[in-house]
Amino acid sequence: MAAAHEARQTTDHDEIRKWVEARDGRPATVKDTGEGEEAGVLRIAFRDDPALEEISWDEFFDKFEEEDLGFLYQEKTADGKPSRFFKLVDRE
Q: pLDDT tens digit string along 45-78? A: 999 999 999 999 999 999 999 999 999 999 999 8
* pTM attached to this predicted model: 0.87
User: What residues contact residue 69 under an 8 Å CB cut-off, 6+ apart?
Assistant: 11, 42, 88, 89, 90, 91
Confidence of residue 35 (pLDDT cuts 50, 70, 90): confident
How far apart are the C-alpha atoms of 15 and 37, rounded to whole Å? 26
In a domain, 1, yes or no: no
Q: Which of 6, 12, 7, 14 is nearest to 73 (CA)?
A: 7
Range of the domain at 63: 8-90
How far apart are the C-alpha atoms of 91 and 74, rounded to whole Å? 17
In a domain, 3, yes or no: no
Domain count, the chain: 1
